[in-house]
Amino acid sequence: MPGANAYLQGTYDGASSGENGEFKFRTSKTGQQTLLVEFMGYEPFSLKVELKGDTIRLNVKLKEAFNELNAVTITAGTFEASDKKQAVTITPIDMVTTAGAVGDVYGALQSLPGTTVNGESGRLFVKGGDSEESQTYIDGSLVSVPYNSSAPNLATRGRFNPFMFKGTIFSTGGYSAEYGQALSSVLLLNTNDMPVEDQLDLSVLSVGAEVAGTKLWKNGAVTGTLSYNNLAPYMSLTPQNYDWGKYPESVTGAVSVRQKTSKTGMFKFYSNFDNGSFTLSQQNPDAGGTPTDYKLDNGNQFVNASWNDKLGEKWAVSTATSFTNNTDDIQFEQTTVAEQIQGTHLKSVFSYPFSEKFILKMGGELFSKKFSQNVQMPNEKHDNSFTNNTFAGFTEAQIYASTKFVTRVGGRVEYSDYLNSFTVSPRFSAAYKITDKSQFSAAYGWFYQNPVDDYLLYTDLLKPERADHYTFSFQSSVNSRTIRVELYYKDYKDLVKFTGGEFYLPTSYNNSGKGYAKGLDLFWRDKKTIKNGDYWISYSYLDTKRDYRNFPEEAIPTFASKHNFSMVYKHWFGNLRSLAGANFRYSSPRVFNDPNSPVFNGEKMLAYRSLDLSWSFLYRQHVIIYGAVTNVLDFKNEFGQRYSNNPDANGNFQGTAIQPGSNQFYVLGCFITLTRKGNANQLDKIE
Amino acid sequence: MKKIILSLAVVLVSLVSMAQKPEYYQAMGESLGQYATCQSVADFQALGNKFQMIAAAEKSEWLPLYYHAQCYILMSFMEQDVTKKDGYLDVAEKSVTSLLEMVPAESEVSVLQAFYLVGRLVVNPMERGQEYSGLSGQALGKALALDATNPRAQLLQLQMDMGSAQYTGQDPKSFCPKAKELLANWDNFKPKSPIHPNWGKDQAEVVVKGCE
């Protein structure tokens, strides 16, 4: 081992080992001395030697030091984005610069394997799971309503700006016992730490404008953001597939506070409000295809606070809480619907390292949700609501046998007071490093989630739904090239079935549904081969069927497509100071149900294809100009048909095609960051 | 007059301390002399090892740690294998952190911290650019606030300004008058002792040459 440092403690006598690992040095010291041999990444070696003037020969073997950062990590099912780890697959900046995402966190994730693009939804669909099976957490606490409110069959976006986050973990299965109430995936978003300087950010886009200001003080900072979006100018200039009585408009404001509470502690607070509205006119198959207005007013308030610190030398604690209040007021035809979700999440996690190689984590959490729905029709009125408190406790041990082998064993218990149900979920995962650059990883666990709100409104006789995950993955990263292969199997049990009968009767629902999903996910990323270029390719094969909700039999669900392909390319043009991006996505045809056909979910929609481009130009150090186009080649995308609820005189259900809001989307924007740069009189920054 | 008294005092103090720790000054002097002959990552590692040994023997002195960190930062710049760069910087970070605790008001330490942060930045400019340019700018701001005459702080600031000018369409040559002034005044800054940081003049010369 060349370059190791050998010396007598407290003296100036020593030497570095040469190319063959040998070292020798002379000393004038005598008597008892301590010889130290040190090398980065290895445990220091020390030996008492008795110096009597003659030559001492020694054979020193250094033991590799255990370091969690260099040790194997469990990658089964997980895409982690942080810039500290070597084997990252995607990074936070990718979230922002992926073409086609147009600044949407969820849009960017849909270029990763395991996801299926559902153009009429925009939400995440992971490994044969429905969108409700995925949960989003910010700084450890749940986001009850992560997406903007939207009309049926119209794509939505996430509520949060990707620039807020410094790190992301997207787990598509087999996740830790720390996470519950999600059958398919969890997305963990971590907000930025302390900003470096006071700044003012201005952005003007073709669809709106935003201003954000950051002010620092001793060990703390506050950021205030205000944005206004109005699609009226944009939508009136570009071709749209639907008529809008009122173009989407929204006002959003947010305040975020960060405060260091000690040398190791950090408190974060984030609060935002969001008010949006639109009136959309869609063809109504029940009214002979005449346009019908769908009017929506949404109000959303979200508060999130978290605190992380060390208690004493070893204990680490993180506590997080969030509160969501979301109201939707909807009007269509003669019906008005008022819905309100009030969600509270409280969570505390404690971890204690018994040694570097054995870390125990435990914690508890409470999910509280109140959902109320008020429906008014000319001759009917329904008022329903429920409150469900789910209490959970979990514990998990992470055990390293060496830097090469790690296992994580844990369990989780949950109790829902509304359903009066108690569940126990074991979780197990392990990873083994075959070489420095490659590793195998496996995960197994039971996952429970309360049935969707629409059912809980009418019944408390249900149990949580369940999915068992089996995930096996291989990952290898060599020289800025990464390959991942993942095989998985998911066994769905206790899914809620609608058994016929009146929808408002509790007895019309039971837990007899079931299903499976299995597939293969491939991921290849290469930042090396093309100079200044970086690309990744994702492919997912998915085979899934389920019998749930109103399915008459086991069938492929409409949100699943067998083959999903995505290729993302980014290129830095230094002389143009520009980052260009392209993203091609393909999803094989999904199924939909035609009530005129005897086969359930027997029809196939068009395959989804889209080529998206984006361009960011660094005009000045603090000015970025950004432009993006989706579906430049104008592929025709259609998401099946929407059918009338009642048959016409000939006994046929009339259908109308479900199209995207527009075939293409263009965005142009300018981002300006103003800072007070000056070095002379910033003495207050000196600690 | 004041200046003369001050520099006399500095010389006196350093002579006194030299007299107290002849072994330390000799070891430091010898090691510093080896900087000129270092040409590879391995050379700098061997030199860094020496400074580490001295640091372990002289726990109250900050200079050995300073040079130890500097060796590892230079190693990360010289290393071709991207995955190793961060490893060297992890070693440097430890020494920089100790230095900031030992001598928080030392301008040279803040310069070194900025230099270390630039090292982190160049590992992956695309992803780290924004964060680390801000952090290193902050460290440099502190260095200049502590001692506005520190030529190494001025040099690094100049190099960063010129570097970012390239990306932002400004003319880097607009900083040339500043560079010339810095070089002309370089020798006016007197290090507190022969073993205090005194590097950077050759780099300033390179910058000025690039202006012509």
Per-residue pLDDT tens over the stretch A352-377: 999 888 999 999 999 999 999 999 99
- In this structure, the answer to whether residues A478 and A576 fall within a common structural domain is yes
Q: In chain A, which residue's Cα lies nearest the Cα of B44?
A: A3
pLDDT in the model for residue A538: 94
In a domain, A56, yes or no: no
pLDDT in the model for residue B15: 56
pLDDT tens for A305-339 read: 999 999 988 999 999 999 999 999 999 988 999 99
pLDDT tens for B165-208 read: 776 677 888 899 999 999 999 998 888 888 999 999 999 999 99
- In this structure, the answer to whether residues A373 and A478 fall within a common structural domain is yes
Residue A368's contacts (CB-CB under 8 Å, 6 or more residues apart) are: A343, A344, A345, A387, A388, A389, A390
In a domain, A681, yes or no: no
Regarding an ipTM greater than 0.90, the answer is no
- In this structure, the answer to whether residues A33 and A179 fall within a common structural domain is no
Q: What is the CATH number of the domain that holds A352?
A: 2.40.170.20
**Using CA atoms, how far apart are residues A317 and A484, in angstroms rounded to an integer?**
33
pLDDT in the model for residue A89: 56
- In this structure, the answer to whether residues A43 and A164 fall within a common structural domain is no
pLDDT in the model for residue A686: 30
Whether B144 sits inside 8 A of A679 (CB atoms) is yes
In a domain, A342, yes or no: yes
pLDDT tens for A667-678 read: 999 988 887 763
User: Residue B20: pLDDT band by 50, 70, 90 thresholds?
Assistant: low
- In this structure, the answer to whether residues A35 and A116 fall within a common structural domain is no
A390: buried, middle or exposed (CB in 10 Å: 19+, 13-18, 0-12)? buried
Residue A91 contacts B, CB cutoff 8 Å: yes
**Using CA atoms, how far apart are residues A273 and A466, in angstroms rounded to an integer?**
34
**Using CA atoms, how far apart are residues A387 and A369, in angstroms rounded to an integer?**
6
- In this structure, the answer to whether residues A100 and A244 fall within a common structural domain is yes
Contacts of A93 in chain B (CB under 8 A): 126-127
Q: Is the pLDDT of residue A87 over 50?
A: no
- The mean pLDDT value for A96-118 works out to 87
- In this structure, the answer to whether residues A173 and A225 fall within a common structural domain is yes
Residue A21 contacts B, CB cutoff 8 Å: no
- In this structure, the answer to whether residues A102 and A35 fall within a common structural domain is no
User: Residue B9: pLDDT band by 50, 70, 90 thresholds?
Assistant: low
- In this structure, the answer to whether residues A9 and A133 fall within a common structural domain is no
Q: Is the pLDDT of residue B11 over 70?
A: no
Most distant pair of Cα atoms in chain B: their distance: 54
- The mean pLDDT value for A475-486 works out to 87
Q: What is the mean pLDDT of chain A?
A: 90
- In this structure, the answer to whether residues A17 and A128 fall within a common structural domain is no
In a domain, A72, yes or no: no
> Any idea which of A104-108, A301-305, A411-415 has the lowest mean pLDDT?
A104-108
In a domain, A251, yes or no: yes
- In this structure, the answer to whether residues A434 and A297 fall within a common structural domain is yes
In a domain, A57, yes or no: no
- In this structure, the answer to whether residues A139 and A266 fall within a common structural domain is yes
Return the percentage of chain A with pLDDT > 70, whole number.
96
User: Residue B18: pLDDT band by 50, 70, 90 thresholds?
Assistant: low
**Using CA atoms, how far apart are residues A478 and B14, in angstroms rounded to an integer?**
51
- The mean pLDDT value for A39-67 works out to 86
pLDDT in the model for residue A682: 29
Contacts of A683 in chain B (CB under 8 A): 145
Number of structural domains (chain A) is 2
**Using CA atoms, how far apart are residues A155 and A335, in angstroms rounded to an integer?**
23
Residue A314: domain span: 78-675
Q: How far is B200 from chain A (nearest CA, A)?
A: 20
- The mean pLDDT value for B17-41 works out to 83
Q: How far is B130 from chain A (nearest CA, A)?
A: 10
pLDDT tens for A195-253 read: 888 889 999 999 999 999 999 998 999 999 999 999 999 999 999 999 999 999 999 99
CA A248 to each of CA A206, A254, A408, B124: distance values in angstroms, whole numbers, following the listed order:
13, 20, 47, 39
Rounded (10°) CA dihedral B185, B189, B195, B199: -30
B111: buried, middle or exposed (CB in 10 Å: 19+, 13-18, 0-12)? buried
Give the residue from B28, B43, B47, B49 with the most A CB atoms within 10 Å of its CB, the best one to mutate.
B49
User: Residue A550: pLDDT band by 50, 70, 90 thresholds?
Assistant: very high
pLDDT in the model for residue B12: 52
- Which pTM value belongs to this model? 0.85
Query: Which residue, A32, A51, A70, sits at the end of a domain?
Result: A51
In a domain, A488, yes or no: yes
In a domain, A427, yes or no: yes
